[in-house]
Amino acid sequence: MISRFFTHLFPVTFNRDTLSFRKTGYLGIISAALFILLMLTGVLLMFYYSPEASAAYGSVLFLEEKISGGEFIRSLHRMCSHMLLVVMALHLLRTVFCGVYAARASNWKLGYILFGLIVFEAYTGYLMPMDQLSFWATRTGMELMNTLPGGALLKTLLMPDDVGGRLTLLRFYALHIVFIPVLTLILLSAHLYNIRRDGGLLPMAEPEKVKDRDRLVRFSLLISAVTVAAAVVLSLIFKSPLELPADPASPPNPAKSAWFLLWIQEVVSWRASLFNAAAVLFVLCYFLPDYGRRFVYERAVWFPHEGRRVWIFMLALTVLIVVLTVIAMFFRGANWELVPFCF
């Protein structure tokens, strides 16, 4: 029954490489499964969460202490969010490293916007618990945004009163549960339509296609089930933290942003203007297919020689972001001083 329900989403014929882990990593299927699980757990959390500044922390505490399975659902929601960010980043990188970003330009651009939306979705959700961790991570993120040209206007739109204020929390909540998910669903539908229209992935070794949609559906459901199982296990091992209620008068030292924005905080700690350069690079990556049109292949090839400038640039940028994140997360202590190890 479930297989028949999803059948219309999949092409009748598809490239054989769609079922190859070595060539795809199943990253697209995993991303879709995590997004669906995020929506399901988010709906469950909505039954108990109160988007009122004075009641938000209490509603989360009530969920964890009084509701059977409440702590697990919250941990699962948080873990899926973290996993989705990582998997989507890897998915984008795979398309660059095997050269398909240029051949599927529209899907690269749709996927890139989707990744930006998921980052923004994770950021708006960070404030929801209204504890010390979420409050100061959100405030730090807002200060980072303030360094951008036009950042003050964006900050005013997102934060009409203050981080943790009634209007700000309500605005973040509306963005988190309605506007961003709806826009994401629309773009994701277009993304999946393009894949269905193109018959799956760009071939990496064999041009022939397989005509067996039921097999593709069953395979996708299997990968989705494994993804859900992995998220459940990780949620049981790494439970979602809940610190003391947010206190604007008691900032931690250092106050760190959400983990996926820590690399930006590290860059800004050197010089605020460097954030502008990072923002320009982020925008330019959207236009990678326009630069790589001359490198379009009939078959995808890992780390193609002709397009090496593109994938070397993306690889170097990825390594830099990871290194900066590690430094900010583990080697920055009080007053943002470098320390041997801080965990």
For residue range 63-113, what is the model confidence (pLDDT) as tens digits? 999 999 999 999 999 999 999 999 999 999 988 888 778 777 888 889 899
Nearest in space to 317 (alpha carbons), one of 270, 268, 267 = 267
The per-residue pLDDT for range 131-184, each reduced to its tens digit, is 998 998 888 888 877 777 777 788 888 888 888 888 999 999 999 999 999 999
pLDDT of 202: 55
User: Which residues lie below 8 Å from residue 216, measured CB to CB, with a gap of 6+?
Assistant: 10, 11, 14, 18, 19, 200
Rounded to an integer, what distance in angstroms lies between the CA atom of residue 134 and that of residue 128? 7
pLDDT of 37: 95
Q: What percent of the chain has pLDDT over 90?
A: 34
Between 54-68, 194-208, 224-238, 243-257, the lowest mean confidence (pLDDT) is in: 194-208
Look up residue 118 and give its two tokens: 């998921």
The per-residue pLDDT for range 318-329, each reduced to its tens digit, is 999 999 999 999
pLDDT of 214: 63
Is the predicted pLDDT of residue 43 greater than 50, yes or no? yes
Rounded to an integer, what distance in angstroms lies between the CA atom of residue 282 and that of residue 260? 14
DSSP label at residue 341? -
pLDDT of 205: 46
Q: Is 255 helix (H, G, I), strand (E, B) or coil?
A: coil
Whether the Cβ atoms of residue 246 and residue 164 lie closer than 8 Å to each other: yes
pLDDT of 287: 86
What's the Cα-to-Cα distance from 22 to each of 27, 93, 95, 156, rounded to whole Å?
A: 11, 14, 13, 46
Q: What is the chain's percent helix, strand, coil content, to nearest 5? A: 70, 5, 25
Rounded to an integer, what distance in angstroms lies between the CA atom of residue 330 and that of residue 327? 6
Q: What is the mean pLDDT of residues 4-21?
A: 54
pLDDT of 1: 45
Q: What is the mean pLDDT of residues 10-28?
A: 63
Q: Is 178 helix (H, G, I), strand (E, B) or coil?
A: helix
Look up residue 136 and give its two tokens: 């100061």
Q: What percent of the chain has pLDDT over 70?
A: 84
pLDDT of 309: 82
Look up residue 218 and give its two tokens: 């069953």
pLDDT of 2: 45
What domains sit in the chain, N to C, each tagged with a CATH number?
A: 2-336 (1.20.810.10)
pLDDT of 236: 94
Is the predicted pLDDT of residue 16 greater than 80, yes or no? no
Is the predicted pLDDT of residue 235 greater than 90, yes or no? yes
Q: What is the mean pLDDT of residues 241-259?
A: 87
Rounded to an integer, what distance in angstroms lies between the CA atom of residue 257 and that of residue 63? 25
Nearest in space to 292 (alpha carbons), one of 264, 224, 284 = 284
Is the predicted pLDDT of residue 288 greater than 60, yes or no? yes
pLDDT band at 336 (very low <50, low <70, confident <90, very high): confident
Is the predicted pLDDT of residue 273 greater than 70, yes or no? yes
Rounded to an integer, what distance in angstroms lies between the CA atom of residue 193 and that of residue 190? 5
Burial class (CB in 10 A: 0-12, 13-18, 19+), 23: buried
Q: What is the mean pLDDT of residues 25-48?
A: 91
Is the predicted pLDDT of residue 209 greater than 80, yes or no? no
Rounded to an integer, what distance in angstroms lies between the CA atom of residue 293 and that of residue 103? 7
Is the predicted pLDDT of residue 44 greater than 90, yes or no? yes
Kindly report the average pLDDT of the chain as a whole number: 82
The full DSSP string for 267-322 is HHHH-TTHHHHHHHHHHHHTTHHHHGGGG--SS--SS-STTHHHHHHHHHHHHHHH
